[in-house]
Amino acid sequence: MKIQIITLFPEMFEGVLNTSMLWKAQKSKLVQYKLINLRDFGLGPRKQVDDVPYGGGDGMVLRVEPLVAAIQHAKSSVTSRQSLVVLMTPRGEKFSQARARQLAKLENLILVCGRYEGYDERLTKFVDEQISIGDFVLTGGELPAMVVIDALTRLIPGVLGGETSVELESFSQPGVIEYPHYTRPEVFQGLKVPKILLSGDHAKIEAWRQSKQKKTK
Ligand code: 21W
């Protein structure tokens, strides 16, 4: 899977993409991340990407031309029809595990990160989908894009090799949160590991874990 990210702040992604599971996924060629700097598509000698809003008001708005040029550039580097352009926006549809599962099946994904006070609304005509990660206000689409990348990369077959099936995990079953975990030491500041986990009785342990699974709203 190829994931292309259009952003004014590519450096924000370096630590996240080059660490742990996301780094291993790239190393094993299961996924390829490509950062596209929106500034490279800026207008004029100053590489302008934003402008004052029509109708007045505070702040700056991302201009549509650099964004659409960057999307065109990303599209031109892939041949597959199975490609999707997703705009990260607080006005988008709420992200979920179900959405992550669908996105993980794609061959090509292009994520567009907004900034400033927003983007020119005409951009929405050039994207396939709009995704939000929740009802809170962030300063840009970069952190949400990283959330989406993490959630879907771990679902790509082979990425979590050796670990138990990700589909058995907490959020994979809608509305179920995993049971609590413990490791050494047996006692920490007077806090004990539940006895049953030390009993070696696997049937009882399984029953205990099921009883501790929580249902969400
Ligand atoms: C925040 C962009 C507010 C636009 C005109 C002038 C992407 C995000 C974001 C941001 C506005 C996500 C306005 C959860 C988020 C994101 C930055 C709107 C109002 N209109 N998921 N001023 N939360 N956030 N600005 O913030 O880009 S996905």
Give the CA distances from residue 173 to residues 98, 142, 177, in Å, rounded to whole numbers and listed in that order. 9, 27, 8
Instruction: Compute, in angstroms, the gap from residue 116 CA to the centroid of ligand 1.
Output: 8
Whether 192 and 147 share a structural domain: no
Q: Residue 65, SS3?
A: helix
Whether 88 and 185 share a structural domain: no
Question: How far out from the chain centre does Cα 35 lie?
Answer: 14
Whether 56 and 131 share a structural domain: yes
Whether 73 and 121 share a structural domain: yes
Query: Quick one: pLDDT at residue 131?
Result: 98
Looking up residue 207, the CATH number of its domain turns out to be 1.10.1270.20
Whether 53 and 143 share a structural domain: yes
Domain end (from 135, 153, 171): 153
- Domain assignment of residue 165, yes or no: no
Pocket test for ligand 1, best of 88, 91, 94 (most atoms within 8 A of CB): 88
**pLDDT tens per residue across span 173-203:** 666 788 999 999 999 999 999 999 999 999 9
Domain end (from 117, 138, 153): 153
Place of tokens 């997703």: 86
List, chain by chain if needed, residues with CB within 6 Å of any ligand 1 atom.
57, 59, 88-90, 114, 117-118, 132-134, 136-141, 144
Which amino acid residue places its CA nearest to atom 24 of ligand 1? Answer: 140
Whether 103 and 20 share a structural domain: yes
pTM over 0.75: yes
Whether 89 and 134 share a structural domain: yes
pLDDT at 116 over 90: no
- As a whole number, mean pLDDT of residues 90-115 equals 96
Instruction: Compute, in angstroms, the gap from residue 95 CA to the centroid of ligand 1.
Output: 15
Query: Quick one: pLDDT at residue 175?
Result: 65
Cα(46)–Cα(23) distance, integer angstroms: 34
pLDDT band at 162 (very low <50, low <70, confident <90, very high): low
Whether 34 and 111 share a structural domain: yes
Give the CA distances from residue 89 to residues 95, 133, 178, in Å, rounded to whole numbers and listed in that order. 11, 9, 30
- Which atom of ligand 1 has the smallest separation from the CA of 133? 21
Whether 187 and 148 share a structural domain: no
**pLDDT tens per residue across span 47-102:** 999 999 999 999 999 999 999 999 999 999 998 777 899 999 999 999 999 999 99
Whether 119 and 186 share a structural domain: no
Looking up residue 129, the CATH number of its domain turns out to be 3.40.1280.10
Whether 54 and 97 share a structural domain: yes
Instruction: Please enumerate, as own/partner, the contacts of 175-179 that have beta carbons within 8 Å and a separation of 24 or more.
Output: 175/215, 175/216, 175/217, 176/213, 176/214, 176/215, 176/216, 177/213, 177/214, 177/215, 177/216, 178/213, 179/208, 179/209, 179/210, 179/212, 179/213
Q: Which domain holds residue 193?
A: 179-215
Query: Domain count of the chain?
Result: 2
- Domain assignment of residue 86, yes or no: yes
Query: Quick one: pLDDT at residue 81?
Result: 75
Whether 69 and 136 share a structural domain: yes
Instruction: Compute, in angstroms, the gap from residue 133 CA to the centroid of ligand 1.
Output: 11
Instruction: Compute, in angstroms, the gap from residue 1 CA to the centroid of ligand 1.
Output: 27
- Which atom of ligand 1 has the smallest separation from the CA of 118? 4
Which amino acid residue places its CA nearest to atom 17 of ligand 1? Answer: 140
Place of tokens 């292309």: 4
Cα(211)–Cα(104) distance, integer angstroms: 31
Instruction: Compute, in angstroms, the gap from residue 132 CA to the centroid of ligand 1.
Output: 9
Query: Quick one: pLDDT at residue 117?
Result: 78
Instruction: Compute, in angstroms, the gap from residue 113 CA to the centroid of ligand 1.
Output: 10
